[in-house]
Every structure is written in structure tokens, then in C-alpha cells.
């Protein structure tokens, strides 16, 4: 009977020790590991974290937004380049980032932290494309939506289709996006399960809309087609939809940072 009692006591002691709260001196270089899931303005995230010291921790993971789609149509300018007077288009969100973040806990008895790091991804955040070709086949790969005036040959500026008659516009930012923020909660919790709150910003540079554009290159002395950022100053047509594009670019270029507000639930693996 005594042996059974001591065996149960040892088992309970082992369980209690394994789930006990960690002390500051228990946090050493990569001697613990936690896994977490998060939800916030930057999307849904999964990551792992490890301590470097009691005052520092590192997090690495992936954050993504669901690939939402939308559909709409634009009015064309009546040029004989087009098959129809309207084009049906779709948009697709393509946000997904790997991140590496470092947390600094300046106070021994508080989970308040300062965070610095970076998000890394493909440059494209949003793509807009036609559902069916609306440019006549004779013009595929050479012409398309005229954004600039056509009365002056050297001021012509147009978005051209590819060799299959498709046109795509991509909203792009920097692939490397530095991040700074503050928050509460430990990346590697003292208990088995913890909650972390973060508030910060990603610096993603000046956004731009990129497309295959055709214009006169004075250096080459001829027309060229290049995939590059659309220039607002060259959108001179009176078409209302094209002017809406000009206004969208104007507003978008002012948004050089992306706010991040999220909550993370994590569990200590060991």
C-alpha cells in the first residue's frame, strides 16, 4: 500500500513540475519552443517562437489573407480596337508573408514588449484581369486600353494585352517590409498556454499599379512595351473609368505603411 501511495505521489509531482510556471532563469538560448496561431489585420498566422534570454525572444512563421475575389466591369472608350464596349474583370487578393520578429521585454515583471523584424513576400498584393479577351485578335500583344491622348503620337500611353488578348494589372509593394510594434504577452509563455497581443506597422514602400504599357521612348526613338508602374501624369483621357484609375493610384501611393493589430494564442511545446 505504501509503495502504491509513493508511486502516485511521484506521478503527481512529475505532472505538476511539467506544467509549472517557468521562472525567469528558466529562459535560456533556444531551450524552449512554442507554437502559435494568430488572427488580425494582417490575416491568419501560424508560427513558432523560442527564447534567446528572458528579455528576448524570436518568432518565425507565415501569415496570409484568404484569396478573396470580386467581379465588376469597366466602360471602354469606343475604339475600334475593342470587340465590345464593356470589359468584365475580376480581382484577386494575394497577400501572404513569411515573417521573422524579435521581441524585447524591458521589464522583469511585465509581459510588455517591443518588437522589430520584417515581413517578406511576393511583391503583388492584388491582381485585376479580364475574364474574356475584349481586344480584337489583330491587336493582341500590341494594343489595348488607351490611357493617354491619341491626337499626339508621342503622348500615346496605353495598357496592352499579351499575345492571348489578356490584360492584367497588379498592385505591388516592396517584397521586404520592415516591422515595428509594441504589445503584451510572451512569445514563449511561462505557462503551458498564453495569449499575446500586438500592435504595429509594416513599412511596405510606395505602392504602385503595374501593367504592360506601350509608349514612345525618346532614347530609343520608337515605341516600347514594358511591364512597369503606371504613371498618373500620362493618364489624360476623359473616360470616367480611366480617371477613376488615376484617382485610385493617387490615393494608393500615399499609403506607405500597413497597420498590424492581432491576437496570438500560443502553447509551449517544451
Q: Which domain holds residue 49?
A: 33-268
Q: What length is written for the chain?
A: 270
23 within some domain: no
CA gap 101, 104 in Å, rounded: 10
Per-residue pLDDT, 3: 44
248 pLDDT higher than 80: yes
CA gap 183, 115 in Å, rounded: 8
149 within some domain: yes
9 within some domain: no
52 and 42 Cβ atoms separated by less than 8 Å: no
Mean per-residue pLDDT, 39-47: 95
Per-residue pLDDT, 13: 37
CA gap 58, 188 in Å, rounded: 9
Q: Is the pTM of this model over 0.85?
A: no
184 and 204 Cβ atoms separated by less than 8 Å: no
17 within some domain: no
User: What pLDDT digit, counting tens, does each position of 18-32 carry?
Assistant: 456 888 888 899 999
Q: State the CATH number of the domain containing residue 62.
A: 2.40.160
Helix (H) or strand (E) holding 267: strand 257-268
Joined together, the cell numbers standing for residue 18 give 511539467
Per-residue pLDDT, 19: 52
Which of 239, 242, 240, 237 has the alpha carbon at shortest distance from 211?
242
Which of 265, 83, 249 has the alpha carbon at shortest distance from 187?
265
CA gap 99, 6 in Å, rounded: 48
66 within some domain: yes
CA gap 223, 24 in Å, rounded: 67
Query: Count of domains in the chain?
Result: 1
CA gap 194, 208 in Å, rounded: 39
27 within some domain: no
Per-residue pLDDT, 18: 44
User: What pLDDT digit, counting tens, does each position of 76-131 carry?
Assistant: 887 889 999 899 999 999 889 999 999 999 998 899 999 999 999 999 999 999 99
- In the predicted model, what is the mean pLDDT of the chain? 88
5 within some domain: no
CA gap 124, 94 in Å, rounded: 7
Q: Which residues of 80-103 are buried (b: 16+ CB within 10 A; e: fewer)?
A: ebbeeeebebeeebbbebebebbb
Lowest-confidence region among 10-14, 171-175, 266-270: 10-14
Which of 209, 205, 181, 210 has the alpha carbon at shortest distance from 256?
205
Per-residue pLDDT, 184: 96
Ordered DSSP codes for 167-224: -EEEEE--SEEEEEEEEES-SS-SSSEEEEEEEEEEE----EEEEEEEEEETTTTEEE
Per-residue pLDDT, 15: 37
DSSP 252: H
100 and 60 Cβ atoms separated by less than 8 Å: yes
User: What pLDDT digit, counting tens, does each position of 44-62 carry?
Assistant: 999 999 999 999 999 999 9
User: What pLDDT digit, counting tens, does each position of 141-190 carry?
Assistant: 998 999 987 777 778 899 999 999 999 999 999 999 999 999 999 999 98
205 pLDDT higher than 70: yes
Per-residue pLDDT, 11: 35
Q: How confident is the model at residue 221 (pLDDT cuts 50, 70, 90)?
A: confident
4 within some domain: no
Per-residue pLDDT, 7: 39
Ordered DSSP codes for 28-55: -TT---EEEEEEETTEEEEEEEEESSSS
CA gap 102, 114 in Å, rounded: 8
203 pLDDT higher than 80: yes
Amino acid at each position: 500500500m505504501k509503495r502504491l501511495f509513493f508511486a502516485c505521489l511521484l506521478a503527481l509531482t512529475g505532472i505538476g513540475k511539467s506544467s509549472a510556471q517557468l521562472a525567469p532563469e528558466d529562459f535560456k538560448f533556444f531551450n524552449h519552443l512554442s507554437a502559435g496561431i494568430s488572427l488580425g489585420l494582417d490575416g491568419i498566422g501560424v508560427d513558432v517562437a523560442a527564447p534567446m534570454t528572458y528579455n528576448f525572444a524570436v518568432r518565425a512563421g507565415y501569415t496570409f489573407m484568404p484569396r478573396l475575389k470580386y467581379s465588376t466591369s469597366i466602360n471602354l472608350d469606343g475604339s475600334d480596337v475593342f470587340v465590345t464596349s464593356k470589359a468584365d474583370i475580376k480581382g484577386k487578393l494575394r497577400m501572404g508573408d513569411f515573417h521573422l520578429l524579435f521581441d524585447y521585454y524591458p521589464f522583469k515583471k511585465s509581459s510588455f514588449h517591443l518588437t522589430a523584424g520584417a515581413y517578406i513576400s511576393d511583391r503583388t498584393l492584388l491582381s485585376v484581369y479580364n475574364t474574356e479577351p475584349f481586344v480584337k485578335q489583330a491587336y493582341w500583344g500590341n494594343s489595348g486600353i488607351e490611357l493617354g491622348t491619341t491626337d499626339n503620337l508621342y503622348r500615346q500611353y496605353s495598357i496592352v494585352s499579351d499575345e492571348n488578348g489578356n490584360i492584367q494589372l497588379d498592385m505591388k509593394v516592396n517584397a521586404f517590409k520592415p516591422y515595428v510594434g509594441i504589445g503584451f504577452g510572451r512569445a514563449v509563455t511561462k505557462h503551458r498556454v498564453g495569449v499575446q497581443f500586438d500592435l504595429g506597422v509594416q513599412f511596405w514602400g510606395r505602392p504602385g499599379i503595374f501593367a504592360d504599357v506601350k509608349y514612345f521612348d525618346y532614347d530609343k526613338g520608337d515605341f516600347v512595351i514594358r511591364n512597369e508602374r503606371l504613371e498618373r501624369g500620362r493618364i489624360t483621357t476623359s473616360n470616367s473609368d480611366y480617371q477613376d484609375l488615376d484617382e485610385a493610384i493617387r490615393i494608393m501611393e500615399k499609403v506607405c505603411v500597413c497597420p498590424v493589430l492581432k491576437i496570438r494564442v500560443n502553447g509551449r511545446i517544451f
